[in-house]
Structure 1
Amino acid sequence: MDFKMNEKGFETTVEYGNLKISGDAEYGFRPFQLLVSSVAVCSGGVLRKVLERMRLPYENIDVQAKVTRDEKEANRVSDIHLHFVIKGNELPHEKVEKALVVTRKNCSMVQSVKDSINITESFEIHA
């Protein structure tokens, strides 16, 4: 990936289109937003595949991310809590817990940051 500086930040072009990145949310995605999005969406996508492989029927998965940043350390992301809201009938709580363990082990973004960012998960099931 190549990033070109502009007057308000940086931008790059990827397969889907142009991505603008800036420390100012008026001019692009903020870097921490992209980091958190990568972890959340990777986890959600892996969870989707794991549930399908386990033959657990679901209708939808929403991921809520709560971020904690440490102002004393350059405002770094210190914690990300992912809360999965899973819509589906007859989803056994124990099997979804197991699916999340497998998800954590197989999400490349979680594995990339696990030694520097504390990542926790929770979930709820809605019929």
Structure 2
Amino acid sequence: MKFTYTDDAFETEFEYGKLVVSGNEEKGFRPFQLMVSSIAVCSGSVLRKVLEKQRMSVKDIQVEADVKRDPERANRLTHITLHYVIHGENLTESKVEKAVHLASKNCPMAQTVADSVEITETFELK
């Protein structure tokens, strides 16, 4: 990856398109937004795969992320709560709870920050 600084932001090109990152949200995505997005989407994707492998039909998953930061320590992320809203068929609380636990251990993005950011996961079935 190569990032180029222009107009108060860094830019890079990927197969899908241009990514603009800046501390100023009027100029691009903020770094913490990308980090939280990576963890939320990775976790949700792994959860969906686990549910499907366990023969549970998933129509839709929404992931809500609540973030806490520590202004005393460079505003670093301290806690992320991921709440999954899962729409599907043949979903049971106990099986989904086990799937959420298994998925959290297999999301590379969440595991990358596991020693420095507390991640809590909850869910509801629709």
Common fold: TM-score over 0.5:
yes
Q: How far apart in 1 are the matches of 2:108 and 2:90?
A: 29
Q: Report the CA distance between 1:9 and its aligned residue.
A: 1.4
Number of the residue aligned with 2:79: 79
Number of the residue aligned with 1:115: 115
Q: Report the CA distance between 1:7 and its aligned residue.
A: 1.8
Q: How far apart in 1 are the matches of 2:55 and 2:110?
A: 24
The one-letter code of the counterpart of 2:71 is E
Q: Is the 8 A contact 2:56 2:89 kept in 1?
A: no
Q: Report the CA distance between 1:97 and its aligned residue.
A: 0.5
CA RMSD of aligned residues (A): 0.7
SS at structure 1 position matched to 2:61: strand
Q: Structure 2, unaligned stretches of length 5 or more? A: none
Q: How far apart in 1 are the matches of 2:90 and 2:40?
A: 25
Number of the residue aligned with 1:8: 8
4+ residue runs of structure 1 moved beyond 6 angstroms?
A: none
Q: How far apart in 1 are the matches of 2:112 and 2:98?
A: 21
SS at structure 1 position matched to 2:58: coil
> How do residues 55-74 of structure 1 correspond to structure 2 at under 5 angstroms?
55-74=55-74
SS at structure 2 position matched to 1:41: helix
So what's the TM-score if we normalise by structure 1? 0.97
The one-letter code of the counterpart of 1:109 is M
Q: How far apart in 1 are the matches of 2:25 and 2:36?
A: 15
